[in-house]
């Protein structure tokens, strides 16, 4: 069961709603969000300003079926730990995509909000997918190792919530800023128009690595805690059961 919580700290200021209606107004709100929160509004701008292989990497791994995708668009040092989880969840089971920041500092400059992320390889992978698990990192409640689930695939979100809760992980309802409810959010850009956004709190991500070390050297070492493996198996168990019917 997802336990609703209050508002969470977010990467960008909260959306202001209520005075203007309709899709056009909603689009303007998301444009405002990007201008305030991100250095780059889309991938073309980022690619023109950063060097691939020096500042960032793109990883695409084919799975046994194209109907499921595990992605992390803020991997590496952008939202540390999200890329490692997406890779482990997808390993040999799903098509996997990770965009990772590898700068020595200021990896947050590489953050493109999920409603504007349009990197071509990621879009191509999702164009062939029916179900998507999109992994992110967020601040969360101070010291609380928790997962906030969002996105438009309510059925998959419910299954993931149940599996994670059964393994002892705390699952909370995503606040509006990280709800993944906008149709243009990358998690929803598959053939069904619905995916799940999995937001990992900072405390949860640190619990996945020995000594809570989220540095690049620690993440690249391959060393993970048992909690990491338990989390991965909980997510993969849902995919393994659901995938034959997809």
Spatial CA neighbour of 198 closest among 46, 79, 63: 79
CA separation, residue 86 to residues 38, 40, 95, 109 (Å): 23, 23, 10, 21
Cβ partners under 8 Å of residue 162, min gap 6: 1
What is d(CA 95, CA 71) in angstroms, rounded to the nearest whole number?
8
Distance CA 125, CA 94 (A): 11
Q: Rg for the chain (alpha carbons), in Å?
A: 17
Asked if residue 33 lies in contact with residue 113, where contact means CB atoms within 8 angstroms, the answer is yes
Confirm if 205 and 143 have CB atoms less than 8 A apart.
no
pLDDT above 70 for 4: no
List, in order of start, the domains of the chain with CATH numbers: 22-241 (3.40.630.100)
Tens digits of residue pLDDT in 131-160: 999 999 999 988 999 999 999 999 999 999
Contact present, 126 and 134 (Cβ < 8 Å): no
Beta-carbon neighbour count of residue 107 at 10 Å?
A: 21
Position of tokens 């500092």? 105
Q: Identify the residue whose tokens are 């990192």.
A: 137
Per-residue pLDDT tens digits for 114-123: 999 999 999 9
User: Which tens digits make up the pLDDT trace of 211-245?
Assistant: 999 999 999 999 999 999 999 999 999 999 987 54
Q: What is the model's pTM?
A: 0.85
Tell me the sheet residues that pair with 134. 71, 197
Return the closest-CA partner of residue 102 out of 137, 60, 55, 58: 55
The total number of residues shown for the chain amounts to: 246
Backbone φ and ψ of 76, nearest 5°: 65, -135
Could you tell me the CA-to-CA distances from 33 to 29, 75, 162, 208 in Å, in that order? 6, 21, 32, 30
Per-residue tokens: 145: 């190792």
Asked if pLDDT for residue 30 goes beyond 90, the answer is no
């Amino acid at each position: 069961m997802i336990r609703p919580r209050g508002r969470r700290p977010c990467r960008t200021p909260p959306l202001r709603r209520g005075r203007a209606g309709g899709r056009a107004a909603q689009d303007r709100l998301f444009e405002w969000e990007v201008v305030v929160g991100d250095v780059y509004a889309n991938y073309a701008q980022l690619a023109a300003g950063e060097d691939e292989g020096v500042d960032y990497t793109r990883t695409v791994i084919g799975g046994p079926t194209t109907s499921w995708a595990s992605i992390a668009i803020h991997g590496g040092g952008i939202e540390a730990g999200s890329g490692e989880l997406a890779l482990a969840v997808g390993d040999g089971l799903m098509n996997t995509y990770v965009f990772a920041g590898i700068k020595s500092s200021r990896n947050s400059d590489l953050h493109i909000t999920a409603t504007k992320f349009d990197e071509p390889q990621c879009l191509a992978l999702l164009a062939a997918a029916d179900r998507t698990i999109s992994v992110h990192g967020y601040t969360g409640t101070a010291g609380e190792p928790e997962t906030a689930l969002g996105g438009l695939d309510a059925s998959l979100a419910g299954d993931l919530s149940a599996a994670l809760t059964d393994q002892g992980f705390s699952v909370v309802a995503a606040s509006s800023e990280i709800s993944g409810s906008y149709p243009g959010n990358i998690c929803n850009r598959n053939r069904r128009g619905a995916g799940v956004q999995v937001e990992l709190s900072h405390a949860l991500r640190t619990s996945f690595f020995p000594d809570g070390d989220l540095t690049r050297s620690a993440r690249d070492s391959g060393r993970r805690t048992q909690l990491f493996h338990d989390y991965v198996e909980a997510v993969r168990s849902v995919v393994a059961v659901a995938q034959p019917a997809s």
